[in-house]
Structure 1
Amino acid sequence: MTIELIGLNKIPIIDGKESIAKIIIEAIKSQKIEVKDQDIILIAETLIAKCEENIVDLNKVIPSDEAIKISKKTKKDPKIVEVIIQESNEIIAVGPDFIISETKEGFVCANAGIDESNVKEGFATPIPENPDESARTIKEELEEITGKKIAIIITDTQGRAFRNGAVGVSIGCAGINPLWQRKGEKDLYGRELQTTEIAIGDELASAASLLMGQANEGIPVVIIRGISYFKDIENDNAHIKTLLRSKERDIFRNIKNSYE
């Protein structure tokens, strides 16, 4: 099996509300390629934020007492800390240079996913308000324009517990199951898989991140083509929350709380 990754590098810097589907189509035309059936299109959340005008002007943020207190411990700008608090359901842990929180969308990550990179100085982009809905809208518009059956994944870059470094992860999806249930299938020796679940949304996001990069690569959209198991993970009713472990089953948070 051969998988192809195609980075769209003809996408302009966005400064206001735009149709992401139309931007993608223009970039595809500029690169003289076309959308094909079963393409999976991965889009960086910063592009979503800009096109949806989901951007925070830090100059207008007034830090609360809690934000000022946390900023002293983390050495972070109190305005950024305030935005993190506002975008969080719960602050889980505070360290010397990080804040781990559960976002409004239910993601447990550093700094509530607030991003200051690839945006103008003095501004920050939070995680999209409804990543699945954003993905669904883009999917429907692209399918209407191209007549092809595709899937959309919105990506972010996040760290992982117990490991250094950040990787691409999926935070929104449409047309594809982000969690691939393989229970009941057979391994190479004919044994039946009992509990195997693949975070396929995150694996695809991480693959796309190889082209997207984290600096000035200028590739916010990647097409992944040639996934032979597309039919196995295709699902027009899929949503990203399938990937999120419930608080009740979050053993690490429960262990932490049991010692407090």
Structure 2
Amino acid sequence: MTGTSSTVEVVAPDGAPEIHTGSDLVGELLPLVQLADGDIVVMTSKVVSKAEGRVVRSSRDEAVTAETVRVVARRGPTTIVRNRLGLTMAAAGVDASNVAAGSVVLLPRDPDGSARGIRASIRVRTGRNVGVVITDTAGRAWREGQTDIAIGAAGLLVSEPYAGRTDAHGNELAVTQPAVADEVAGMAELAQGKLSGRPFAVVRGRADLVLPPHQHGPGAASLIRAEEGDLFGYGAREAVVRALRGDPGDRAPFGAPAAADELRAVITDVLGLIPTPTGRDGGMLTVTFPRGLARALSALAFAHGWEVLATDSPSDVRLRPARP
């Protein structure tokens, strides 16, 4: 019987110098490795940021505030935010390590653009067609510890959709879609380490993921889930507070409006009230309620993507799916 095997290699070379504003990252990389077509070049976001002049004089707290679009969750000294790149990360991805006191490193302004530039430069200087991944470290919901993820990518299939394929037993796969760019980032970090001074790595053995020279692909930004599609747009405590406050600007992280039957069931379960379907197609709900439950009813509606409309009766309200 003849078997098959698959081998993926990672090389993280020693010898990289300290990177400063204006450093030529490709020029620093090429003497350290021999590249081949189909390789995936991995660089940490820190060296990309340093080369691009993203080291700034600032306190960490001030920088985090400046890079934050909205706070997702806060527990003691830990703040998880959605940053200007759309990434959900601790401290907005701001890094105060391995820089002079009083300075911090911000993430690249356009990680996918940085990856495209690095890829093009490698092509010009070596003639090699490679993929490029720029990485940063992130935690994961439900899991302790951190791992590296791709925040920038070029010339690479960043995910492999398996939906519609069948397994060895004939079962059709529905939602399986490995985020291979993140897997490449995590694999590279195993070889790079955190304290070894190896900001570059080359992953070899997955040339099938590398796109033709004239195609850069969708980039790592395509792996960021849209706010309205994220089931965990806020932390548990924050979601309660936001729903009770009911600011229309907070709607997006709660997602698209729930079905009328779902909201009816929740109102009955939590408040003991029985909403009545109304409207031309039954897509609205009317609720008769005691005044003391008004705020709770509004919060439940808000959390499910609905809004409360006043009626002529002081004890009735009408609910409808919120409009964009």
Sort the TM-score into its range (normalised by shorter chain).
Answer: 0.7 to 0.9
From 226, 230, 237, the equivalent of 1:250 is: 230
- What's the C-alpha RMSD, in Å, of the aligned pairs? 1.9
In 1, the alpha carbon distance for the partners of 2:116 and 2:107 equals 16
Question: Is the Cα contact below 8 Å between 2:94 and 2:105 reproduced in 1?
Answer: yes
Query: 186, 208, 222: which one pairs with 2:201?
Result: 222
Change (3 A) 1:211 1:121: farther
1:207 Cα deviation from its structure 2 partner: 0.5
Q: After the TM superposition, which residues 185-204 of structure 1 pair with which residues of structure 2 at under 5 Å, given as runs?
A: 185-204=165-184
1:259 aligns with 2:247: no
Alignment-mate amino acid for residue 26 of structure 2: A
How far 1:124 sits from its partner (Å)?
1.2
- Alpha-carbon separation, structure 1, partners of 2:74 and 2:80: 6
- Report the counterpart of residue 15 of structure 1 in structure 2: 20
CA contact (8 A) 1:44 1:156 kept: yes
Amino acid of the residue matched to residue 178 of structure 1?
V
**Does 1:96 find its partner at 2:76?**
yes
The DSSP-based 3-state class of the residue aligned with 2:233 is helix
Equivalent residue for 1:72?
none
Distance 2:207 2:127 in 1: 20
> Is the alpha carbon distance of 1:164 and 1:174 closer, same or farther for their aligned partners in structure 2, counting shifts above 3 Å?
same
1:177, 1:233 within 8 Å by CA — same for their partners in 2? Answer: no
CA shift in 2, pair 1:231/1:2, >3 Å: same
Q: Secondary structure at the match of 1:93?
A: strand
- Identity among equivalent positions (%) equals 29
**Whole-Å separation in 1 of the counterparts to 2:116 and 2:62:** 30
**TM-superposed deviation, 1:7:** 0.6
Check 1:233–1:147 CA distance in 2 against 1; reply closer, same or farther (3 A cut): closer
1:230 is matched by which residue type in structure 2?
L
Match of 1:48 in 2: 48
Per the alignment, residue 146 of structure 1 pairs with: 126
Runs in 1 of length 4+ with deviation above 6 angstroms?
none
The 3-state SS of whatever aligns with 1:35 is coil
| Aligned-partner SS, 1:8 | coil
What letter is aligned with 1:220? P
- Residue identity in the other structure for 1:209: E
2:29 is the alignment partner of 1:24: yes
CA contact (8 A) 1:180 1:233 kept: no
The answer to which structure, 1 or 2, has the higher relative contact order (CA under 8 A, 6+ apart) is 1
Cα deviation, 1:21-80, whole Å, max 9, x if unaligned, reads 11111322xxxxx1101000110011001111111112xxxxxxxxxxxxxxxxxxxx31
Q: State the alpha-carbon separation in 2 of the partners of residues 115 and 54 from structure 1.
A: 11
Give the SS at the match of 1:181: coil
Given that 1:187 and 1:193 are in contact with CA atoms closer than 8 Å, whether structure 2 keeps it comes out as yes
State the SS of the aligned residue for 2:63: helix
Distance 1:37 1:102 in 2: 36
Q: 1:8, CA displacement in angstroms?
A: 2.0
- Listed as ranges, the gaps of 5+ residues in structure 2 are 1-5, 242-324
For the 8 Å contact 1:85–1:91, the answer to whether it is kept is no
* Equivalent-residue separation in structure 2 for 1:44 and 1:103 (angstroms): 18
What is aligned with 1:169?
149
Distance 1:6 1:96 in 2: 39
2:98 corresponds to: 118
Q: Quote the Cα distance in structure 1 between the aligned partners of 2:231 and 2:192.
A: 33
Q: CA deviation at 1:201?
A: 0.9
Cα 1:188–1:12 change in 2 (3 A) is same
Greater Cα offset, 228-237 or 7-16: 228-237
1:193 partner amino acid: L
Query: Which of the two has higher C-alpha Rg?
Result: 2
